[in-house]
Amino acid sequence: MKRRYIAWLSLALALVAAPHTASAQTKVKFTLDWIPGATHGAFFVALQKGYYKAEGLDVTIDRGKGSAEVVRQLAAGSYDMGFPDINVVMDFNSKNPDQGFPVLMSGYEEAPAAIFVLKSSGITDPKQLNGKKLGSAANDSTFKLFPIFASKTGIDPASMQIQYIEPSLREVLLAQGKVDAIPGQVFNSLLELQAKGVKKDDIKYFMYKDYGLELYGNSIAASRKFLKEHPDAVKGFLRATMKGLKDVAKDPEVAVKAALAYEPLLNADIERERLRVALDCCILTEHVKKDGFGDVNRERLQNIITLITKAYNLPRQPSLEEVFDPSYLPPKSERMIN
pLDDT: is 105 or 312 the higher one?
Answer: 105
Mean pLDDT of 275-282: 96
CATH number at residue 79: 3.40.190.10
CA 279 to CA 323: how far, in whole Å? Answer: 24
User: According to the model, what pLDDT value does residue 320 have?
Assistant: 97
Do 301 and 216 meet the contact criterion of CB atoms below 8 Å apart?
yes
Please give the single-letter amino acid code of residue 230.
Answer: H
For residue 6, pLDDT over 50 is answered with no
Do 304 and 94 meet the contact criterion of CB atoms below 8 Å apart?
no
User: According to the model, what pLDDT value does residue 95 have?
Assistant: 97
- DSSP character string of 54-99: HTTEEEEEE--S-HHHHHHHHHHTSSSEE--BHHHHHHHHHH-TTT
Identify the burial level of 165 via C-beta atoms within 10 angstroms of its C-beta, where 0-12 means exposed, 13-18 middle and 19 or more buried: middle
Mean pLDDT of 299-303: 96
The answer to the question of residue 134 being in a domain is yes
For residue 2, pLDDT over 50 is answered with no
CA 136 to CA 311: how far, in whole Å? Answer: 20
CA 213 to CA 210: how far, in whole Å? Answer: 7
Q: Find the range with the poorest average confidence among 130-144, 151-165, 272-286.
A: 130-144
The answer to the question of residue 52 being in a domain is yes
Same domain, 230 and 330: yes
Same domain, 105 and 142: no
The answer to the question of residue 41 being in a domain is yes
Same domain, 101 and 235: yes
Looking at the structure of the chain, the number of domains it has is 2
Same domain, 127 and 275: no
Q: Pick from 155, 186, 211: which residue ends a domain?
A: 211
Q: Pick from 211, 242, 265: which residue ends a domain?
A: 211
The answer to the question of residue 19 being in a domain is no
| Per-residue pLDDT reduced to its tens digit, 10-63 | 444 444 443 333 346 999 999 999 889 999 999 999 999 999 999 999 999 999
Same domain, 182 and 287: no
User: According to the model, what pLDDT value does residue 106 have?
Assistant: 98
Average pLDDT, the chain: 92
Range of the domain at 137: 113-211
| Per-residue pLDDT reduced to its tens digit, 167-204 | 889 999 999 999 999 999 999 999 999 989 999 999 99
User: According to the model, what pLDDT value does residue 180 have?
Assistant: 98
For residue 3, pLDDT over 90 is answered with no
CA 112 to CA 94: how far, in whole Å? Answer: 23
Cα distance between the two ends of the chain: 55
Do 111 and 215 meet the contact criterion of CB atoms below 8 Å apart?
yes
For residue 4, pLDDT over 80 is answered with no
Same domain, 33 and 75: yes
User: According to the model, what pLDDT value does residue 140 have?
Assistant: 82
The answer to the question of residue 12 being in a domain is no
pLDDT band at residue 312, thresholds of 50, 70 and 90? confident
Same domain, 321 and 227: yes
For residue 338, pLDDT over 90 is answered with no
Mean pLDDT of 132-149: 89
Q: Find the range with the poorest average confidence among 80-84, 157-161, 211-215, 218-222.
A: 211-215
